[in-house]
Every structure is written in C-alpha cells, then in structure tokens.
C-alpha cells in the first residue's frame, strides 16, 4: 500500500500484525480502540515505540490533564510502573492485562525526581503547569517564574554554563537535585521576523567560536542510518527509499571544520522578548560541523535571515555541507509525524522523506 494514501488505521493495523510481542498496540495507537478501552477520548501528544519491546504514549484528556499509557513485551515493567506510581500515591488504570496508564508525574523513570522536588505535593506539582512531557524522558513544568525540568538521565550542564560564562545569550540551568534543574521563565518562542532570526544567527556564530568543554563527537553518517531505520520500523513500504537516502547523505559532504554546536538547533530552541534572544536546551551539545546547526534550523522551516546574522558575526558557511546537514535533519525528523500521531501521519512521513531525498541530491 502507498503511504501517501494510507490511513493511520491502515498503518497501525499493519504494525500490529508485524509485532506480535506487543498484542495491545491497538489500545495505545488506535484512536477508537483507545477511547473504547478508557471510556473517553485521549489525544496522543508523544509516542515512543521500540519494536518488539514497548509502546508508550503521552496523552492529554479533554480537561488538559496529561497521562502516560504503556504496554511492554516484558510484563515485569508494567509491575514496576504500577509499583512506583502507587508509592507516589498515584492512581493507575489497567484497561487490559497488558496496558497500564497513570498521571504524567507518576512516570516510571521520572516519579522519583518529581517526588524529590515536590514531596507530598507531587500529585499536584504544587500548582505548577505541565508544558512538555515525553514518556520515560522528561517532564517540564512552569512553576512561577521558573521552568523546572525533570529528566530520566542527568542533563549535562557544562555546555550551557560555558556559553553563559563567555557572555552568550543562553539560559543556563541550575541543578536542583538528581535529574532536576531549572531556568528562568523567559520571553516567548522565537517569532518569524528576519530581525529575530538574524539575532539568533549572531548568537549561534558566537557559540561556534567558544572553546568547548568535553562533549560528545557527532557521527552524522551513523545518525543518517539510524534515521532511515526508524522510518523502516513503522512503514516498511518506505524502507528501501529511506535506506537509499540515508546512504546518499552518509556519502555526502559534512564539512571539515569542527566546533561547539548546539546539537538540536531549531527555532523552538530560541526565545525572544522582542528586543533580545536566549538560546535554550543545550542537552545535546556536541562537537560537530557548524553547518549541522545551520542545516537543522533551516530543515524545520527556520527564517533564512539567520544566515545573514551568522555571517555578519563572522560565521563561515560551507554551502554544500549545510545542504547535506539539512537533508540529514529532515530525514531525522521524518519520523516525527508518527510520534505525534495526526490522522495522516503515514503521508506526512513520506512527504518528509521526499524532502530529504530532494536535499540529498
């Protein structure tokens, strides 16, 4: 079946047939099956799927409350999830023997972080508002004048601290405890104006000139292969195309220079207050080609005036390398429609794959 004409229901049915280790995939993935199981509509905000092992979803109900839904091939993980939620005083719900759901704060890998910070007020987050939730990864809340992040893995802070010490406009987090950090609640998402994008470009050029602390070294060829495999796992119909474009990207130019890079640079990682900007979320900072940050920004529809600001601040651009990094960023994000589960996600995945093919030459 052609993904451009495939419904989400068709794709989910095929996925269920291919993955017998997770017999309750439909309860998590299918809108109608999920509504029948839970007795209400729950909108998927984020999916995490590991074939043969687990499917998890962050969902929101009509009142805006966030929950997780989990199903594992290993039933012991459901037992652990229920146990940790119960210790936090959370109420869980099991619509079937292989599916469990609970409130976002009682996430199996995050609940201890939340309890260490909020104590007996964890169930209400002390009135804080959830702004982002990725199951088993992170929970971000707005707590008064602060953004507080709970992360399953200790977030590296040396990168942001080094940039702040160099006088660059970043929001450096403050560690509050194991896996818990905060930054000031500052500004709003970067607007689409050329002026704001140019300011972001100037700041990015400054980042690329800073002598980095010890950071991971990027391997873009490996990243391309992993991105192709992620697409093939949910839409085997696209496996050949995804592999071929990943191979072309891996053979393409990535640039010779190496610098301190953000690692996940998009407009979403820049805040503006109308007169200034702040760069956030440096958890994926790495040593890489500067063009990787530029390509990432452009791949997600960022305003091209970023390049004007970047060059004006002394940044140099290898155009061929930037195009190849943009293709890589598009390929890496091609799986995102599946992870956010709109009704036409198969067609959207194929559309993004086509974009990557075009950029990869």
pLDDT digits over 259-307, tens only?
A: 999 999 999 999 999 889 999 999 999 999 999 999 999 999 999 999 9
Q: Give percent of the chain with pLDDT exceeding 70.
A: 100
Buried b vs exposed e over 7-46: b needs ≥16 C-beta within 10 Å?
Answer: ebbebbebbbeebeebebbbbbbbbebbeebbeeebebbb
Which residue is associated with the tokens 């966030």? 66
**pLDDT score, position 340:** 95
Domain ranges in the chain?
188-361
Residue 128 tokens read as 């804080």
Question: In whole numbers, what is the pLDDT of the chain averaged over residues?
Answer: 95
> 5 falls in which pLDDT band (50, 70, 90)?
confident
Asked if residue 1 has pLDDT above 80, the reply is: no
CB 169 within 8 A of CB 108: no
Asked if residue 361 has pLDDT above 80, the reply is: no
Q: How far apart are CA 168 and CA 332, in angstroms?
A: 28
C-alpha to C-alpha distances, 309 to 34, 193, 202, 203, nearest whole angstrom: 47, 12, 5, 8
- CA-nearest of 116, 157, 99, 106 to 136 is 106
CB 294 within 8 A of CB 208: no
- CA-nearest of 284, 259, 275, 30 to 157 is 284
CA 213 to chain CA centroid, nearest Å: 24
CATH architecture label of 188-361: Alpha-Beta Complex (3.90)
- CA-nearest of 81, 78, 99 to 90 is 81
> 6 falls in which pLDDT band (50, 70, 90)?
confident
Q: How many residues does the chain have?
A: 361
Phi-psi category of 166—alpha, beta or left, where left has phi over 0 and alpha has psi -120 to 50? alpha
> 192 falls in which pLDDT band (50, 70, 90)?
confident
Which residue is associated with the tokens 């690329």? 208
Neighbours of 60 (CB within 10 A): 18
User: What average pLDDT does the segment 243-247 reach?
Assistant: 98
């Amino acid at each position: 079946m052609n993904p451009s004409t495939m419904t989400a229901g068709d794709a989910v049915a095929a996925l269920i047939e291919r993955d017998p280790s997770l017999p309750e995939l439909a309860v998590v993935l299918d809108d109608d099956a999920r509504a029948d199981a839970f007795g209400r509509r729950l909108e998927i905000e984020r999916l995490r799927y590991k074939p043969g092992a687990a499917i998890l979803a962050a969902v929101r109900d009509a009142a805006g409350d966030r929950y997780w839904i989990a199903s594992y091939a290993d039933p012991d993980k459901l037992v652990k999830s229920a146990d940790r939620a119960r210790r936090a005083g959370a109420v869980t719900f099991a619509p079937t023997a292989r599916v469990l759901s609970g409130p976002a704060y009682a996430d199996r890998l995050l609940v201890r972080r939340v309890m260490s910070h909020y104590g007996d007020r964890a169930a209400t987050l002390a009135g804080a508002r959830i702004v982002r939730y990725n199951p088993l990864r992170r929970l971000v809340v707005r707590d008064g004048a602060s953004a507080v992040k709970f992360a399953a893995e200790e977030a590296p802070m040396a990168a942001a601290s080094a940039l702040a010490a160099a006088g660059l406009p970043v929001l450096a987090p403050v560690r509050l405890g194991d896996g818990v950090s905060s930054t000031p609640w500052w500004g709003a998402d970067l607007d689409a104006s050329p002026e704001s994008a140019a300011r972001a470009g100037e700041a990015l050029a400054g980042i690329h000139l800073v002598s980095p602390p010890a950071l991971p070294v990027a391997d873009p060829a490996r990243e391309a292969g992993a991105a192709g495999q992620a697409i093939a796992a949910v839409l085997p119909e696209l496996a050949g195309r995804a592999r071929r474009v990943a191979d072309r990207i891996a053979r393409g130019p990535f640039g010779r220079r190496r610098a301190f890079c953000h690692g996940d640079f998009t407009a979403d990682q820049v805040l503006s207050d109308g007169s200034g900007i702040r760069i956030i979320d440096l958890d994926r900072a790495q040593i890489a080609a500067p063009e990787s940050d530029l390509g990432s920004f452009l791949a997600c529809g960022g305003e091209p005036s970023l390049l004007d600001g970047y060059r004006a601040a002394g940044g140099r651009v290898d155009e061929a390398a930037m195009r190849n990094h943009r293709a890589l960023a598009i390929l890496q994000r091609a799986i995102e429609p599946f992870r956010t589960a709109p009704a036409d996600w198969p067609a959207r995945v194929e559309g993004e794959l086509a974009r990557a093919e075009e950029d990869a030459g």
